[in-house]
Amino acid sequence: MSKPEKHEFQAEIAQLLEIVIHSLYTEKEIFIRELISNAADANEKLQFLQQTAGNDIFEPERPLSIRVVTDEDAKTVTITDSGIGMTQAELVENLGTIAHSGSKAFLEQIKQAKGDARLIGQFGVGFYSAFMVADTVTVYTRSYRPDAQGWKWTSDGKTGYEIEPAEDLERGTKIVLHLRDTEYSEGYKVESIIKRYSNFVSFSIELNGNPVNTIQPLWTKNRSEISEDDYTEFYKYIGHDTEAPEYRLHFNADAPLSIKAILFVPERSTELITMSRQEGEVHLYCKRVLITAKAKGLFPDWLRFLKGVVDSEDLPLNISRETMQDSALLRKINEVLTKRVLKWLDEEAQSDAVKYAKFFAQHGHCLKEGVAMDWAHREAIAKLLRFKSSLTEGESLTSLAEYIARMPEGQKEIYFLHAPDREAAEASPDFEVFRAKNWEVLFLEDPRDEFVLEHLHSFDGKNLVATGKADITLERPVDRSKSLTEEQAKELAEFLKKAFAERVSDVRSSQRLVGSPAAVREPEGAMNASMRRMMKMMGQEAPETAAPKPDFEINPDHPVIVGVERLRHKDEALATQVAAQLLDNAMVAAGLIEDPRAVLGRLNLLLEKLLPNVG
């Protein structure tokens, strides 16, 4: 046998190893991902040769597998594949030089990474990550070429490496790491790392004789080969859930990017249970190897209810989380995925409205957030919103598009009314004119809705308008003999405006009230009631600056208003008190008085005054 042949590392490799050994401290465990990826690549290349005619292959019957063995006594971890192996020339080429040009740039990057080991795979030098944890790395390898011989490559990762022939090797490559970090010779530790990063590698991985990656990477299979149970099992594994998902989407895209994805919507929102924001749980893979778990930036925040996997071959392998976040590529993936998910949810809504309502009850608040925050997708998300309305029954919901389809001729806008429930909405003075006209009104029970619709502003070219702000007039009744004349109404309005100067900004005779004596109309303003409600819901204090004063509208046809006008000429003080009560009532009805108990005091005084007259 000849003596081992000594080789020097190429200068860049020597520098790289210096950094790998001395300054990369975080996430050292990724060396396992890198070596298993290399093993899987080698197996895949052999598989390709087998499927291409005319290739003579050494040990053609040997199955393609990846074996990992830990030895706590010897302080080693060994990774073996049965792939293409390497000849002596390939060993020198692949494990002694950086073949591609960008090596300088790489060194710069790795220096700047300040200890983040994940960068290492990005430039095709993943193999050297072995030296983060090992003093000595020994590679035994035998090429698939029938006439090749076996080789042993050894290095301490410092100055260079030695190569010598090795007898009786099986096809493929065996890498033995003599560990400095002995924790990686513990089986359970290595198992958890394999499960984390390499669970979906397409060859079976055995650890100390036991299979580790038992879950199949479903997204790489044909949809027709996958059963409902396969999906459910996969979801439970990847989504850490015990129940089946509500919705599932399995899709592949080739252009503009190669993307394979399986996405799930959980049946229940954990946010509704924990009352705190959850993290998206979509994991990013490149060719079945985990790049980032719960990858940030893959989806907009308002899609954080999604769970699943996205695999893109277009990603530079092992791109780091930091680089990932601001990459143009990620933005592109985000854009493709977001569009696809919006389309998917819309299809689900069309195909089963009842099921969709269930989904919406759980995750709708995220979509509402999207409408308020995401300009680019605002209208598409708005399509997915659902509301109760004056024309829906019970708990059933309508979309904005359905509402528009029902709009009668003459109606130009979409109207909404915030109220705690259907009864309150129907009893609101703001609703009267719409009931009289038989125009549909969305009933918003969730305080977010009003805020969201105000932000949305319009849908499909139709303005969204709060009923309280709608400029709609009704034909007055033909018989107005018992009503106030225009002159009387104007005088009363002026009287009340003086009396309530502190509380209202204007008083006028109303064109829109039917059964109610009076109503308030909220002025346009920065901090309006819906924003206050929204802030209160989010647990924030609304700013101290007083809410803008509302306008007070009186119904000149209503007997109470007619009565107040008469009373004021006999007992001005009492008339003012009655009118003040009407104003309070209107404020409560509009949701502008947060504690309705505050108005009870005056009501009792009024009753006291009225009762002696009865007797």
Measured CA to CA, the distance from residue 40 to residue 38 in angstroms comes to 5
Nearest to 579 by CA among 593, 567, 595: 567
Q: Could you say which of ligand ADP, Mg ion, none residue 36 binds, taking C-beta under 5 to 8 angstroms by partner kind? A: none
Residues in the interface with ligand ADP (CB under 6 A) total 16
Residues 115-134 that bind ligand ADP (CB under 6 A): 124-127
Measured CA to CA, the distance from residue 373 to residue 370 in angstroms comes to 5
Q: Which is nearer to Mg ion, 42 or 562 (CB)?
A: 42
Rounded least distance, CB 532 to ligand ADP, Å: 57
Stretch touching ligand ADP by CB under 6 A, among 64-72, 81-89, 290-298, 556-564: 81-89
Measured CA to CA, the distance from residue 90 to residue 331 in angstroms comes to 38
Measured CA to CA, the distance from residue 28 to residue 114 in angstroms comes to 13
Q: Are strands 247-253 and 259-265 parallel, antiparallel or unpaired?
A: antiparallel
Q: Which is nearer to Mg ion, 95 or 238 (CB)?
A: 95
DSSP, res 550: P
Rounded least distance, CB 42 to ligand ADP, Å: 3
The one-letter amino acid code at 579 reads: A
Residue that is written with structure tokens 């300009």 in the block: 375
Q: Could you say which of ligand ADP, Mg ion, none residue 81 binds, taking C-beta under 5 to 8 angstroms by partner kind? A: ligand ADP
Rounded least distance, CB 331 to ligand ADP, Å: 25
Nearest to 84 by CA among 75, 94, 76, 74: 94
One of 78, 173, 390, 576 touching ligand ADP (CB under 6 A): 173
Determine, following the binding rule CB under 6 A, whether residue 262 of this chain makes contact with ligand ADP.
Answer: no
Rounded least distance, CB 85 to ligand ADP, Å: 6
Q: Could you say which of ligand ADP, Mg ion, none residue 42 binds, taking C-beta under 5 to 8 angstroms by partner kind? A: ligand ADP
DSSP, res 113: T
Measured CA to CA, the distance from residue 226 to residue 242 in angstroms comes to 20
Q: Which is nearer to ligand ADP, 94 or 505 (CB)?
A: 94
Q: Which is nearer to ligand ADP, 42 or 453 (CB)?
A: 42
Q: Could you say which of ligand ADP, Mg ion, none residue 86 binds, taking C-beta under 5 to 8 angstroms by partner kind? A: ligand ADP
Residue that is written with structure tokens 């009501």 in the block: 603
Residue that is written with structure tokens 């829906």 in the block: 392
Determine, following the binding rule CB under 6 A, whether residue 83 of this chain makes contact with ligand ADP.
Answer: yes
Measured CA to CA, the distance from residue 318 to residue 335 in angstroms comes to 21
Q: Which is nearer to ligand ADP, 124 or 523 (CB)?
A: 124
201 contacts: CB under 8 Å, gap ≥ 6: 36, 37, 40, 66, 213, 217, 288, 289
The one-letter amino acid code at 264 reads: F
Measured CA to CA, the distance from residue 391 to residue 376 in angstroms comes to 31
Coil, helix or strand for 606?
A: helix
Question: Exposed, middle or buried, 429 (CB in 10 Å: 0-12/13-18/19+)?
Answer: buried
Rounded least distance, CB 322 to Mg ion, Å: 20
Q: Which is nearer to Mg ion, 38 or 70 (CB)?
A: 38
Q: Which is nearer to ligand ADP, 42 or 286 (CB)?
A: 42
Question: Exposed, middle or buried, 29 (CB in 10 Å: 0-12/13-18/19+)?
Answer: buried
Rounded least distance, CB 76 to Mg ion, Å: 21
**Distance (Å) of CA 494 to CA 256, 501, 517, 573:** 66, 10, 17, 16
Determine, following the binding rule CB under 6 A, whether residue 10 of this chain makes contact with ligand ADP.
Answer: no
Determine, following the binding rule CB under 6 A, whether residue 82 of this chain makes contact with ligand ADP.
Answer: no
Rounded least distance, CB 209 to ligand ADP, Å: 20
Q: Which is nearer to ligand ADP, 38 or 70 (CB)?
A: 38
Q: Which is nearer to ligand ADP, 203 or 359 (CB)?
A: 203
Stretch touching ligand ADP by CB under 6 A, among 33-41, 161-169, 341-349, 574-582: 33-41
Rounded least distance, CB 127 to Mg ion, Å: 6
Q: Which is nearer to ligand ADP, 89 or 607 (CB)?
A: 89
Rounded least distance, CB 124 to ligand ADP, Å: 3
Rounded least distance, CB 286 to Mg ion, Å: 11
Determine, following the binding rule CB under 6 A, whether residue 42 of this chain makes contact with ligand ADP.
Answer: yes
Q: Could you say which of Mg ion, ligand ADP, none residue 299 binds, taking C-beta under 5 to 8 angstroms by partner kind? A: none
Rounded least distance, CB 34 to ligand ADP, Å: 6
Secondary structure element (H or E) that encloses residue 565, with its range: helix 559-570
Q: Which is nearer to ligand ADP, 173 or 428 (CB)?
A: 173
Question: Which residue has the closest beta carbon to Mg ion?
Answer: 126
Determine, following the binding rule CB under 6 A, whether residue 261 of this chain makes contact with ligand ADP.
Answer: no
Rounded least distance, CB 22 to ligand ADP, Å: 19
One of 20, 39, 64, 249 touching ligand ADP (CB under 6 A): 39
Q: Could you say which of Mg ion, ligand ADP, none residue 514 binds, taking C-beta under 5 to 8 angstroms by partner kind? A: none
Determine, following the binding rule CB under 6 A, whether residue 34 of this chain makes contact with ligand ADP.
Answer: yes
Rounded least distance, CB 186 to Mg ion, Å: 24
Q: Which is nearer to Mg ion, 113 or 289 (CB)?
A: 289
Using CB under 5 A, list all residues that contact Mg ion. 38, 126
* CB 222, CB 240: distance < 8 Å: no
Determine, following the binding rule CB under 6 A, whether residue 86 of this chain makes contact with ligand ADP.
Answer: yes
The two tokens of residue 569 are: 């000429």
Residues in the chain, total: 615
Question: Strands of 160-166's sheet, edge to edge?
Answer: 5-8, 160-166, 150-155, 134-142, 172-179, 76-81, 66-71, 205-207, 210-211
How crowded is residue 117: how many other Cβ atoms within 10 Å of its Cβ? 23
Residues 356-415 that bind ligand ADP (CB under 6 A): none
Stretch touching ligand ADP by CB under 6 A, among 5-13, 52-60, 77-85, 476-484: 77-85
Rounded least distance, CB 61 to Mg ion, Å: 27
Handedness of CA 372, 378, 380, 382 (dihedral sign): positive
Question: Exposed, middle or buried, 162 (CB in 10 Å: 0-12/13-18/19+)?
Answer: middle
Displacement of CA 260 from its chain's centroid (Å): 18
Q: Which is nearer to ligand ADP, 320 or 362 (CB)?
A: 320
340 contacts: CB under 8 Å, gap ≥ 6: 249, 251, 253, 261
Q: Which is nearer to Mg ion, 226 or 317 (CB)?
A: 317
Supply angle C-alpha 265, 270, 273, rounded to 5: 145
Displacement of CA 69 from its chain's centroid (Å): 39
* Residue numbers at the binding site for ligand ADP (CB under 6 A): 34, 38-39, 42, 81, 83-86, 94-95, 124-127, 173
